Every structure is written in C-alpha cells, then in structure tokens.
Structure 1
Amino acid sequence: MLGVSLGIDLGTANVTIYVPGQGIMLREPSVIAVDKQTDKMIACGQEAYMMLGRTPDSIYAVRPLTKGVISEYDYAEQMLRTFVRRVCAYKVIKPRAAVSIPATVTEVEQRSVVEAVMAAGTRRVVLIEESVAAAIGAGISIDLPQGSMVVNIGAGTTDIAVLSLKGIASSLSVRVGGDDIDEAIIRYLHNRYNHIIGKLTAEQVKISLGCALPSKVNRYMEVKGRNAVSGLPCLQKVSTSDIFDAISEPIQDIFSAIQRVLETTPPELAGDIMTSGICLNGGASLLPGMAEAVSRVTGVECRVAENPSDCVAIGTGKSLEYVGMLFTGVYDVGQFSFPVSDSVH
C-alpha cells in the first residue's frame, strides 16, 4: 500500500508518533505556546513545555488536550500539523494515521479528534481504544481464546480492559492519571506546609519521591516555591512519606477501577488472568512499587510492560494491520454517523 502509516498516541502529557518498520519517530510534550494578539504559534513540544508557568502576558502556553480528549481544537490542530510535518517531511502522498482514544469518549469528542488529525495532513484516520493499542504494543496476543488484562495509566485517564479473541470482554476508563497525582502533591504541600508550587515542580517531586507503597527508606528533597503566608520565595524540605500520603487518594481510585473490571470479568477469563497476570503500561505505571501494589490489592501477579510509555503508540501503529479483523475497539472514519466537515478536505 502506498504512503506511510503513522501510529499516533494523542496523550494528555505527550504526543508520540510511531512509524511501522522505523520505530518511535517523535516524542514531544503536548504543549503549544501562542501569541495572544495574533494567535500564531510561537513554539510547541519540549520548547513550549519549558514555558509552562513562566510566560509573560503576551504569550499563552497551553495543553490543548485534557483527560485524553481535545479541549482546544485550533491549538491541537496547529500542534498536530507541526508534529506530522516533522515525521512526514517531503512525502508526496499523505500518510494514513491510527490514533488512540480513551474508551469513554463521546461521538463529539471522536469527531474533534478525527477532524484535527485530518486537518494536520493525513488522508485516512482510524481510531483505536487505548487499552487495545496498549495490549498490541506490549506484545500480547489478543487473537487467542484466552483472557489478557491491560491497565494503561496515562496522564489524563486510566484505561483498563480484559481482551480475548480480538475483542474487549470487560473494560473501564476513568479520568484519573498522572496529572491528578501532580495536583494531589500541589494540594498537599499547600495544606500541610503553606507551600505553593507549580505543575512542573510537582511533576519533578513525583518522579523523585513518588511511590505507590510505603518506602522503607525515607528520602528528602528541597522543593522550590512560594510561601502562602508571607508571599515570599522559599525552600521546603519534603520526604517520601509526605508524598506517599499526598498521592494515596488518586492511587486508590486507580486500584478500585481495576477491581471493578475484575468483578465484571467472566469467570473463565478471570481464571486466565490469574495465570497470565496483569500488564501495566503508560507513563504513570513507572511509579516505584505500582506493580507490587496492584498485585497486593488484586491478588493477581502484575508486571510493567517493556517501554511502558511507548506501548500505546507502537500498538496504534501496528493496529492498521488489524483494522477489519478486530471485533471491538477500532473505529474507521467510514463507520461514523457524522460526515467529516468540508474544512478538513
């Protein structure tokens, strides 16, 4: 088939593009910086990410995706067009694209994704549920009559699915993820120490001190921020146990979602999962102790996939081979009840 194929993981935190046969071709934060007066793009990706919380009044740095769906359509379109051009520069034929979406998106949200990706310079768009893409990317054989469980913990959403015979037997998507963990850290430091920090700092604290299980060794870190009482810049010493207490609520929400899916899984497939275990992927699955904590909660062996941050992008790229074969979880543009608007052609 002529033309290149793209697997696009349209994440809340990062956009990852995979090209079959070539691997991951682009991994950039899903952030765009625009001039407020002219609405023209100044920067996107890593360059715009470094501007978050540091921009003057004339520049607007924004994440155009929230909880796995497009919240700022025009900015998302500009950002995607830039990313697609970086990967497909000098190509005569427009690429085909498979794009990952959370399982709970509405038809309106699906339409905005399709139109944004087509306007970015693709000729055909296929949508695939994140949990199905994550399973394909993790190397799980979803065409066997055997149950496999995948948990994709992203920045905006957590997608959980039990797969068998190319289809989804039981699934759930909850709008809890890495961003909620960051916000929990911000709230905790404000309430406990009157210490105000930004989202970038909260993410650094999560990476340095975050853990899903109580740590035996208490590590410390000095966090830069502003005192809520005096209003002056200050440093606050924070420990691993502080951060464990801070993030326990969103972590418990993820655990309870996994339990709810297991409760609705047919017994034969539940028996298969006891044997094959649970596969974790997504950026937030890298939190130390996450796999062990899920094992303790469910009683099922749990492992983190190889390259968990890239599983969805890889699976999305490979899914173009499965289109027409998968019974659930993949939607082609032709199946939608809405026509794609004239503006994208």
Structure 2
Amino acid sequence: MNFFSPKIGIDLGTVNCLVCNDQKEILLNEPSIVAIIKETQEIMAVGKDALEMLGKTPENIEAIRPLFNGAIANYTITEQMLAYFITSSLGRVRIIKPDVAVSIPSGSTSVEYRAVLDALNSAGAKNGYLVPESLAAAIGAELPVFSPTGNMIVNSGGGTTEVAVVSLGGLVSYNSVRTAGNKLDDSIVNYIRKKHNLLIGPSTAEKIKIKIGSAVKVTENKQKNVQVRGRDNASGMPKNIVFTTNEVVEAIEIPLKEMINGIKSVLENTSPELSSDILDKGMVLSGGTALLPGLDDYITQSTGIPAIKAEEPLYCVINGLGIILNNLKYFERSLIK
C-alpha cells in the first residue's frame, strides 16, 4: 500500500453518510439522499440540498435514498453519491487516489460486498476495504475487541440494527435486523393514519419521534405532546391533531419487539463463557436509534442484560473507521477486500 495515499472512512448509512480521515476528524456529515432529473438521470443535488427537496419535488424531479436497509438499492446513483462525498472531502484535484474503508451490515451477501467495492472503485478509490458495521461500532465505542472476552454491541441506525458479540478481534455471533429508525417512523405514520385518520410523511414522523418519542410508557406528568399537521384521509383537507408520548410508545411497539428478537437470537448463539462476560459487562448501544429515550431501559427489561448507551452513539461507527484507518495493518484480518 502506498504510504502517501490519503485514507478516508465512510459510514455509508441508509439515512446519513459520514466521512472521516485516519485522524478521526469528521470531514463530512450529509443525508444519504440524491435529487435527480427523471428523464436524464442527471443529479441535481446531493445530501442536505437534496433533503430539502424530499416530498416537495415536481413530477420531473425525484429525491431518492439510493440505499435501502443498509444495502445498495440503486447502484448508479450510489456510485455518483460516493464520488460526490469523496470529492467533497478531499477536493477535486487529487494526485493520488485515496484508500477508502466503508462500513457494511454484518449480514451482507457476497453480491452486496462486491457491489459496494465496485462502486468505490468507480467513485475513485485506489483500494477499498469493507468493515462489518458492528465491529466498527464496537471499536469506536472503545470496547476491548481484541481481548479474549465477550463484548456485545447493538448498533441501530436508520435501516438496520446490527447486533454482535465481539471477541479476539472478530465477530463471534451476529445478526443484522432490517428494523431500525426508518421502521419506527413508518410505524408512527401508520398509527396516526389508523387512529387519527391523518396522513403524514416519514419526515414528520421522524420529527415526532425525536421531539416526544420514548421506548417505554411514561407517567402522566412526564408525558409530552406535539401538534401534528397533515391531510385528513376522508376530506383531503389540512388537519391538526395533538399526539402524545405514550401514543408513540404504542405506535413503535412492534418494530421494537423485532429488534429485541434480533438481540435474543445473538445471545442464544453465544457460548456460555462469553455470555457470562456479557451478563457482567452488559451490552453497548450505538447508532441514531440509541438516542430514543428509554430504549436502554426497554432492552434491559426485555433481555435481563444491562444496556448502556455509548458516549457518542451517532459517531461510534465513523470513529471506529478512523481508528482502523490509522492502524490498517493491525486490523487487516478483520477487513473485507
């Protein structure tokens, strides 16, 4: 490997994309959205500019997320999005192509691995490395991943919840559940449509989740509420309702249970020795969904194992990639090339 090649890490998320260098400096943090002209497939905007267009575009323009549940749904657009992010991070004039490490869901297939590596090469990478998302999160959360002990990480972002037990630098037991923040948003949309006969979009549902959301029921004096504006399903006219925290809890109950089932499946496939370590140390929660109030309590109650929120849940994966880039030889056997 060329010593002078710039190194960048990309947390290629369904909702957001973060880019860092080998010093763990965040170079870019943008939504994983691209706005294109339908007829020509020409890109109009990427990231924050495209996010502002979501749900508001005319017929000839479409704002899309090229990643779905952690996997590439639109190869051509993903390739162009990666090229944009690499150029935005390193500049247009580059003498040497960069080495790029990208996080990928642990349960990805060999076809999905190849699709990401091909997209990286086409986007201008010299060498592409794939890192299991849960391993990167565990490293970024500063878990002792190379020790002969069980370390459990639950990384829940927008598209997937990555659950893994890490020991001696590798994944001992893991599961990738296609249920995370986006599924919670969809559940809120459906709940409001059924209970209040009101139509809202996923972006409104996400704002509700962030503002008043909770994984567990709260007492009346702790309950928050928010005004929700949408379209009446019967009349088609604009309508307002008041939505409460405990209604959010009811709305997201099913996807949270799916996440718990994913956690339990990993625990069931973990050796008794490592299970004992996990019971002592607990599991660490990372990713954007870890910020949902009460999620740590909900997981603890559901599994009987302490769940601890990471210090910086949103940055565990990207910080892990930064550490790996700074020690590529040390982590070489954990990478997919």
Take 2:236 and 2:173, find their aligned partners in 1: how far apart are those partners?
A: 50
Report which stretch shifted further, 153-162 or 268-277: 268-277
Q: Does 1:294 align with 2:296?
A: no
Q: Which residue of 1 aligns with 2:18?
A: 16
Three-state SS of the structure 1 residue aligned to 2:209 is helix
Q: Which residue of 2 aligns with 1:277?
A: 282
Aligned match of 2:117 in 110, 114, 117?
Answer: 114
Take 2:20 and 2:306, find their aligned partners in 1: how far apart are those partners?
A: 30
Q: Does 1:304 align with 2:309?
A: yes
Take 2:164 and 2:236, find their aligned partners in 1: how far apart are those partners?
A: 46
CA RMSD of aligned residues (A): 1.4
Q: Is the 8 A contact 2:23 2:326 kept in 1?
A: no
Q: Which residue of 2 aligns with 1:343?
A: none
Aligned length: 332
Q: Does 1:43 align with 2:45?
A: yes
Q: 1:31 to 1:68 in 2, by over 3 A?
A: same
Shift of 1:330: 2.3
Q: What does 1:176-195 correspond to in 2, within 5 Å?
A: 176-195=179-198
Three-state SS of the structure 2 residue aligned to 1:310 is helix
Q: 1:22 to 1:154 in 2, by over 3 A?
A: closer
Take 1:42 and 1:79, find their aligned partners in 2: how far apart are those partners?
A: 11
Q: Which residue of 1 aligns with 2:71?
A: 69
1:73-95: CA deviation from partner (whole Å, max 9, x where unpaired)? 11111111111101111332111
Question: Normalised by the size of structure 2, how large is the TM-score?
Answer: 0.95
Q: What does 1:244-283 correspond to in 2, within 5 Å?
A: 244-283=249-288
Take 2:281 and 2:66, find their aligned partners in 1: how far apart are those partners?
A: 37
Take 2:232 and 2:207, find their aligned partners in 1: how far apart are those partners?
A: 19
Report which stretch shifted further, 314-323 or 241-250: 314-323
Q: Which residue of 1 aligns with 2:56?
A: 54
Aligned match of 2:202 in 177, 199, 221?
Answer: 199
Amino acid at match of 2:270: T
Three-state SS of the structure 1 residue aligned to 2:314 is coil
Q: Which residue of 1 aligns with 2:243?
A: 238
Unaligned runs of 5+ in 1: 333-345
Q: Which residue of 2 aligns with 1:229?
A: 234
Q: 1:286 to 1:328 in 2, by over 3 A?
A: farther
Amino acid at match of 1:46: K
Shift of 1:323: 4.8
Take 1:22 and 1:263, find their aligned partners in 2: how far apart are those partners?
A: 35
Q: 1:116 to 1:52 in 2, by over 3 A?
A: same
Q: Which residue of 1 aligns with 2:30?
A: 28
Taking every aligned residue pair, what percent have the same amino acid on both sides? 39
Runs of 4+ more than 4 Å apart: 321-329
Q: 1:22 to 1:110 in 2, by over 3 A?
A: closer
